[in-house]
Amino acid sequence: MAKLFAVTIFVIAIASAVPILMHTWPMPVDISTHGPLIDEQMADTMAEAGIAFLAAQIILAFFIWKFSGRPKDAKIGHFPGGAMALVIAAFLLVGTEVLALGVFGTKAWAAVYFTPPAADSMPIQVQAGQFAFYFRYPGPDGKFGTIHPDKIDEGNQNFFGLDPANDPAAKDDIVTAEMAMPVNKEVHLLMHSKDLGHSFYVRELRVQQDFVPGLDLSLHFTANKIGKYEIVCTQLCGLGHYNMKAYLEVMSQTDFDSWLKQQAANQ
Amino acid sequence: MHDMSAHAAQHHAPTSFIRKYIFSLDHKVIGKQYYGLALIAVYIGMAISWLMRFHLAWTNARIPGLQWLSSVGAPGGLMTPEYYLELMTMHGTIMVFFVLTTAPFAGFGNFFLPIQVGAEDMPFPRFNMMSFWITFVAFCVLMSAFFVGDGPPLSGWTAYAPLSAVGAIAGPGQGTGQVLWAISIALFCVGQLLGSLNFITTTLDLRTKGMTLMRMPLTVWAWFITSCMGLTAFAVLLPACILLILDHVAGTSFFIASGLVINDKMLPHSGGSTLLWQHLFWFFGHPEVYIAIVPGVGIVSHVLITNMRRPLLSHKVMIGCMGALAFLSYMVYGHHMFVSGMNPFSGLVFSFPTLVITIPATIIVLIWIFSLYGSKLRINSASLFALGFISMFVSGGVSGFFLAQPSLDIYLHATYFVVGHFHMVMAVAALFGIFTGTYFWFPKMTGHMMNESLGKLHFWLTFVGTYAIFMPFHYLGMAGNVRRYQAFVDDYMQPLLGVHKFITIAALLTGAAQLIFLYNLIHSRFRGAPAPPNPWEATSLEWTMPSPPPFDNFGGKHPVVYHDPYQYGIEGSSNDYVMQDSPEQIHTVRDEK
């Protein structure tokens, strides 16, 4: 039975690695300028974790195979080097590995969070609420109107609680249910929630950030591939959570300009 | 180490049924009560996971009879989106608190910790009895959420605010159900605090003569370290739950920020902090992962050593690593919050200890694996589950490399990768620890042997089945499949539905295999062969007494300990082992280098 168990562990270990090596269920294609850093880090981690996984499982299986069912009078063997060799190996191998992953991983994290948005980045505001995202563009004046939570009235399409009658900055604001952005142009996404915790996740953009009620957060990113992608909520927000999504359309600058003009006309 | 007679609880064998079996002060009965509670809880939790998995794979299919459980949640047997989330919340809460904490720590710990240190009971038996009954009431309060108000809460076992704090306006179950959840968890915390106090005091004060700290079995060390974590972690969750209850019933705003608008209605709250709940919860929540797994590490070590017929390569390093896991577990909790809106610099700070914690975890695994080298490994149900635990712990552990890095968490957070990771490293590994302990200690606890053939069959189906369920979760996560969705309606996740169906079938079959275990447990309890005092030829003190142990454990005597806990592989002795209380002179077997 021990030998069968050893073979089972071996087969499971190899079988688990196959879909990864064959890219059976791959990550979706990256469309962001910071994404390659994340993808590279993912590949490095996969290699290191994969080797650790296979090595541990195969050695475990081998020892089960070799040292089970030995006769009662067999002599107990001793692993050369003993525990200290293992402790040193763990510190050296895993220590170096985690240090390397930590140091290189910081680059990808810094690319998203520690660099300020470019001065000419395009501001887009996103508001999350049960169970929809709404987006706001500042209009020709480049200014967002002030949000008044008490004026939010979804029935009358005042999703952001704007007061255009008394607030000149709000007059030309463009509110949409879909997000569009020009390709190769940095977007500065200003995020807030109107009710509960939500999240903004676009797999292809390699971007995920929670909305925190009471906090204004921001992200900046540049998309370099034209296309239509899903924005999904990943923070449990209630019964409609599974259906809380919007689309991100990455367009050429010309298409974006005409899209924005069209949206402005629809307000 | 003290003279036990001065400190141990003095009580006499009860004669009434109620005192003997219900409100018992005997640590062994309390241990069995905890185990029994966990057993009920785990089958409820598993049945819930069946319903969830079935719904995920065949979202529009009716589940016959489900309407009897909740006519609102599943009209005509068709599960509503909110009912899925309610079941998900209950599954997580039941499993984490009432199974993974209750069985390996409170169950086995209560039964065996006093015996293994040579005590006749815990120092505060009334506290011990209260700890179980408070936990039992906590379980009943949680279950009552199924039957009162508009159902259980839907905010997940992590109960993130403000969804969990604003009340019924946020959705079904968020009013009464959520308050019941918070009361239940607050009570659970009280129960565990009382239990942890007893464990710590027993370990420090009631060790018998000769039982030095280094002569304590690894299980005792594991329970001791776990109770130190329990004492600090549950002490944080308790006030967090009280504040959450106050947000509901007293109109406070601890976790609710100003200016929130739900259904076009502005909430009257102001000044609270959303992230405060997350900090408090995860300050408990991450040590909780180790509260679930460290007893398993101790049990697996204990059982593996017995079946390898040799001590581990190093007893001290193993203890040190369990301690390091516990210590570091308080510094890593922020890795649950990388994308929460917490300062991104904090993300990096939390990332470093999270990566470092893999070092003691790796050493533990290496010591297990390389202790097999040159051993005389015996294969039985207990050792199979112990070896299976190692395999699961490795598989779940390596995915931790990914999630420890904030840059990768940007992509993997809230995906099925996380679900696969924590189920393998915490849930399934801890369950394997429970199975290991059960097959090993059942003879001592009940006086009957379990059926080995059924045990092995149970092992094979469970081992292969759990890999079939949880390994694909990682692939789904890598592909970007988001968790906590009741259906995959968006275009992106539709193609992954086939993987979900595979997982569901594997889950139904693996779950069914657990009925073999239940049958074995019940059948062996009444019909199993009588257990000798020491069926596994083990060395620790629980095997020096009859199976099951008498009421006062050592028959009124105080055992004297002469040896380290794991004296196996003794050359020149008639047996290959020497028990801890044997006065036989031997050269102590140590593998330390």
Both A147 and A253 in a single domain?
yes
User: In terms of domains, do A138 and A157 share one?
Assistant: yes
Please report the pLDDT score of residue B541 as a whole number. 96
Mean pLDDT of chain B: 93
Interface contact A37-B407, CB threshold 8 A: yes
In a domain, B592, yes or no: no
Say yes or no: B2 contacts chain A, CB-CB below 8 A: no
Residue B69 pLDDT > 70, yes or no? yes
- The predicted-structure confidence for A149-207, as pLDDT tens digits, reads as follows 999 998 889 999 999 999 999 999 999 999 999 999 999 999 999 999 999 999 999 99
Give yes or no for residue B8 having a pLDDT over 90. no
Chain A from 195 to 234: CB within 8 A of any B CB: 195-197, 199, 201, 203, 206-215, 217, 230, 232, 234
B:445-474 residues touching chain A, CB 8 A cutoff: 456, 463-464, 467, 471
CB B462 within 8 A of CB A5: no
Are B379 and A1 a contacting pair at CB < 8 A? Answer: yes
- Please name which of A184, A57, A177 lies closest in space to residue A128, comparing C-alpha atoms: A177
Confidence grade of residue B124 (pLDDT, cut at 50, 70, 90): very high
Beta bridge partners of A209: A200
Residues B408, A42: C-beta atoms closer than 8 Å: yes
Query: What one-letter code names the amino acid at B519?
Result: Y
Query: Which spans in B145-217 are helix H?
Result: 176-205
pLDDT tens digit sequence for B11-33: 677 878 888 889 999 999 999 99
A126/A100 same-domain check:
no
**What are residue A211's phi and psi, to 5 degrees?**
-90, 130
Query: Is B588 contained in some domain?
Result: no
Residues spanned by the domain of A6: 2-68+84-113
By the 8 A CB rule, do A193 and A211 touch?
yes
Contact B376/A72, CB-based, under 8 Å?
A: yes
Instruction: Give domain status of residue B590, yes or no.
Output: no
Q: For residue B491, which residues of chain A lie inside 8 Å, CB to CB?
A: 230
Asked whether residue A74 is assigned to any structural domain, the reply reads no
Q: Give me B336's structure tokens.
A: 């649950």
* Mean pLDDT on B77-87: 96
Q: Which of A64, A213, A239 sits opposite B257 (nearest CB)?
A: A213
Per DSSP, chain B holds a count of helices (H) and strands (E) of 19, 4
- Residue B528 contacts A where some CB pair is shorter than 8 Å: no
Helix H or strand E encompassing A124: strand A122-129
CATH number at residue B354: 1.20.210.10
Encoding tokens for residue B168? Answer: 């019924």
Are A56 and A181 members of one domain? Answer: no
* Residues A107, A185 within the same domain: no
Mean pLDDT, to the nearest integer, of B116-122?
94
**Cβ contact, residue pair B405, A45, below 8 Å:** yes
In a domain, B589, yes or no: no
pLDDT digits (tens, 9 = 90+) for B449-494: 999 999 999 999 999 999 999 999 999 999 999 999 999 876 788 8
Q: A253 with A220, same domain?
A: yes
- Give the Cα-Cα-Cα angle B42, B44, B45 (nearest 5 degrees): 60
Q: Exposed e or buried b for every residue in B469-499, given b needs 16+ CB within 10 A?
A: bbbbbbbbbbbbbbbbbbbbebebbeebbeb
Would you call B126 an interface residue with chain A, using a CB distance cutoff of 8 Å? no
Question: Is the same domain home to A138 and A168?
Answer: yes
Q: Find the residue in A nearest to B481 (Cα).
A: A203
Phi, psi (deg, nearest 5) at residue A126 = -125, 135
Query: Domain check: are A153 and A109 in the same one?
Result: no
Structural domain including B363 reads: 4-578
Same domain assignment for residues A220 and A242: yes
| pLDDT value at residue B2 | 46
Closest approach of chain B CAs to the CA of A151, in angstroms? 8
Q: Does A82 touch chain B (CB under 8 A)?
A: yes
Query: Quick check: A58 contacting B, CB < 8 Å?
Result: no
Report CB contact under 8 Å: A76, B358: no
CB contact under 8 Å between A113 and B375, yes or no, is: no
pLDDT of A72-129, one tens digit each? 888 888 888 888 999 999 999 888 888 888 888 888 888 888 899 999 999 999 999 9
Q: Do residue A58 and residue A91 come from a single domain? A: yes
- The total number of structural domains in chain B stands at 1
What b/e string do you get for B313-330 counting C-beta neighbours within 10 Å, with b at 16 or more?
A: bbbebbbbbbbbbbbbbb
> What's A200-264 look like in SS3?
EEECCCCEEEEECCCCCEEEEEEECCCEEEEEECCCCCCCCHHHCEEEEEEECHHHHHHHHHHHH
CB contact under 8 A, A38 and B370: no
Calculate helix-pair angle for B218-249, B108-117, nearest 10 degrees: 140
How big is the A-B interface in CB pairs under 8 Å?
320
**pLDDT of A16 above 70:** yes
Q: Is A76 within a domain?
A: no
A182: CATH:
2.60.40.420
Contact A20 B261 (CB under 8 A): no
Burial class (CB in 10 A: 0-12, 13-18, 19+), B541: buried
- Which residues of chain A are within 8 Å of residue B161 when distances are taken between CB atoms? 197
- Residue A60: per-residue pLDDT: 97
Q: Decide: B331 and A55 in contact? Cβ < 8 Å.
A: no
Do B186 and B97 touch, CB atoms closer than 8 A? no
Mean pLDDT across B541-554: 94
DSSP 8-class letter at B533 = S
Domain membership of residue A144 (yes or no) is: yes
Give chain A's radius of gyration (CA, Å).
26
* B72 interfacial to chain A (CB closer than 8 Å): no
Contacts of B359 in chain A (CB under 8 A): 90-91, 94-95, 98
User: What is the SS3 assignment for B261?
Assistant: strand
- Structure tokens of A186? 């940095």
B408: nearest CB among A41, A57, A74? A41
| B591 part of a folded domain | no
Long-range contacts of B55-59 (CB under 8 A, 24+ apart): B55/B79, B55/B84, B55/B486, B55/B487, B56/B486, B56/B487, B56/B488, B56/B500, B56/B504, B57/B497, B57/B500, B57/B501, B57/B503, B57/B504, B57/B505, B58/B501, B58/B504, B59/B486, B59/B487
Q: Mutation target for B interface from A99, A241, A245: give the one with most B CBs within 10 A.
A: A241
**Domain shared by A246 and A132, yes or no:** yes
Residue type, B447: G
CA–CA distance, B564 with B572 (Å, rounded to integer): 18
Quick one: A163 and A101 in the same domain?
A: no
Contact B407 A67 (CB under 8 A): no
- In a domain, residue B539? The reply is yes
pLDDT tens digits for B267-321?
Answer: 999 999 999 999 999 999 999 999 999 999 999 999 999 999 999 999 999 999 9
pLDDT exceeds 90 at position B517? yes
Buried b (16+ CB within 10 A) or exposed e, B86-114: bbbbbbbbbbbbbbbbbbbbbbbbbbbbb
Answer whether residue B584 is part of any domain.
Answer: no
Decide if A77 is inside a domain. Answer: no
Number of domains in chain A: 2
187-246 in B: which are within 8 Å (CB) of A? none
